[in-house]
């Protein structure tokens, strides 16, 4: 009797339901847009430092500058020589690529992960059940998250590589050497002079880059699980989301960074004459430039991707929560 009276006096508390699949696509796209807008100048500097000829020019301009201040110095050089627009070169194609790419990535990740989770509780003979049993995913949440991220990365890279190829070409232009008037002109010229296959150049290095995104997502999920365990099931607050996403991205980016350089080099104009493939490019850069060559531009890269990931995941989690039905 007393128990029933007690529960009658407890106010109704809305509970968060399961977000629909489409919500992950929307939240991922919005998160990507916010991250890209905030960090575009650092993306331009990173791309130019990864490219061989731009890297050499900027290195001479920064030879007397301490390592920690080089990124700021490079931003200053670009601004003084080419104006504010140079810091946002390739932004339009970047947004055109990153928004659908991240929407597709987050959406695919959630769909694959949900299929794995549903396969735990069925005896039907499906591909998902087969993968779950072969990999032993029932007892391995981290492996499940990693494999879901690998699938999402493969789908996203295959679908969006041409956009990133064009973005790289546009960012590598300088005030003195402008090969393309605009994005459309770049697409037309590349198609006429290099053929349709050029748009898929660097895709091999991008596939290698799946190692970064899959490691990042796996670490992020593990951090979320640790936080929830310490908070007795409560979700992360914004500060915890920023911290978890930043640390996960930092670790993944440092461990797998050389693939970023390889991808940029493979997309440079004339790359087909310098390198026969991704493995050959790795060998050539390692032999001629050493470790600094394979890690060229890492500082501006980290300064960009860590806040980018933090902003993206915080926006993603916020939008996803907003789009999730309550009951």
Domain-located, residue 95: yes
Q: What tens digit of pLDDT does each residue of 112-137 get?
A: 888 877 766 665 656 556 665 655 55
CA–CA gap between residue 73 and residue 297 (Å, rounded): 13
CA–CA gap between residue 3 and residue 98 (Å, rounded): 54
Q: Do the Cβ atoms of 261 and 297 come closer than 8 Å?
A: yes
In percent, the amount of the chain with pLDDT more than 70 equals 80
Domain-located, residue 125: yes
Domain interval for residue 216 = 19-319
CATH code for the domain of 116: 1.50.40.10
Mean pLDDT of the chain: 80
Confidence of residue 9 (pLDDT cuts 50, 70, 90): very low
Q: Which of 87, 224, 49 is nearest to 142 (CA)?
A: 224
In percent, the amount of the chain with pLDDT more than 90 equals 31
Q: What tens digit of pLDDT does each residue of 291-311 get?
A: 888 888 788 788 888 999 999
Domain-located, residue 306: yes
Q: Which of 246, 196, 195, 188 is nearest to 216 (CA)?
A: 246
Q: Do the Cβ atoms of 117 and 38 come closer than 8 Å?
A: no
CA–CA gap between residue 194 and residue 308 (Å, rounded): 33
How many domains are contained in the chain?
1
* 8 token code pair: 């009658």
Q: What tens digit of pLDDT does each residue of 22-46 get?
A: 999 999 999 999 998 888 887 777 7
Q: Is 90 helix (H, G, I), strand (E, B) or coil?
A: coil
Q: Is 324 helix (H, G, I), strand (E, B) or coil?
A: coil
Domain-located, residue 6: no
Domain-located, residue 224: yes
Please give the average per-residue pLDDT across 223-238, as a whole number. Answer: 89
CB neighbours of residue 93 within 10 Å: 23
Domain-located, residue 325: no
CA triple 72-253-116, angle to 5 deg:
145
CA–CA gap between residue 35 and residue 296 (Å, rounded): 22
* pTM for the whole structure: 0.72
Query: Which residue would you say has higher pLDDT here, 292 or 7?
Result: 292
CA–CA gap between residue 194 and residue 181 (Å, rounded): 17
CA–CA gap between residue 212 and residue 215 (Å, rounded): 5
Query: Which residue would you say has higher pLDDT here, 129 or 253?
Result: 253
Domain-located, residue 239: yes
């Amino acid at each position: 009797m007393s128990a029933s009276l007690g529960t009658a006096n407890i106010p109704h508390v809305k509970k968060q339901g399961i977000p629909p699949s489409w919500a992950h696509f929307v939240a991922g796209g919005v998160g990507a847009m916010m991250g890209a807008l905030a960090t575009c100048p650092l993306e331009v500097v990173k791309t130019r430092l990864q490219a061989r000829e731009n890297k050499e020019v900027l290195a001479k301009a920064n030879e007397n500058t301490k390592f920690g201040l080089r990124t700021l110095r490079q931003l200053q050089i670009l601004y003084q020589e080419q104006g504010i627009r140079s810091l946002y070169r390739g932004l339009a194609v970047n947004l055109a690529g990153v928004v659908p790419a991240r929407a597709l990535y987050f959406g695919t990740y959630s769909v694959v992960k949900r299929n794995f989770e549903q396969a735990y509780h069925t005896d039907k003979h499906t591909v998902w059940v087969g993968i779950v049993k072969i990999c032993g995913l029932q007892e391995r949440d981290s492996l499940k998250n990693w494999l879901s991220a690998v699938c999402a990365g493969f789908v996203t890279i295959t679908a969006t590589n041409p956009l990133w190829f064009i973005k790289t070409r546009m960012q590598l232009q300088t005030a003195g050497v402008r090969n393309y008037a605009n994005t459309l002109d770049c697409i037309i010229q590349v198609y006429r002079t290099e053929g349709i296959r050029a748009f898929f150049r660097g895709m091999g290095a991008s596939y290698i880059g799946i190692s970064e995104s899959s490691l990042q997502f796996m670490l992020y999920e593990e951090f979320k699980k640790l936080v929830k365990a310490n908070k007795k099931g409560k979700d992360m607050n914004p500060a915890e989301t920023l911290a978890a996403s930043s640390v996960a991205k930092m670790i993944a980016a440092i461990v797998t960074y050389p693939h970023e350089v390889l991808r940029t080099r493979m997309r440079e104009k004339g790359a087909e004459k310098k390198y026969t493939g991704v493995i050959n490019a790795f060998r050539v850069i390692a032999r001629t430039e050493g470790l600094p060559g394979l890690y060229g531009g890492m500082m501006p890269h980290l300064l960009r991707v860590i806040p980018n990931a933090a902003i993206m995941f915080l926006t993603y989690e916020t939008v996803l929560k907003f789009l999730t039905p309550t009951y």
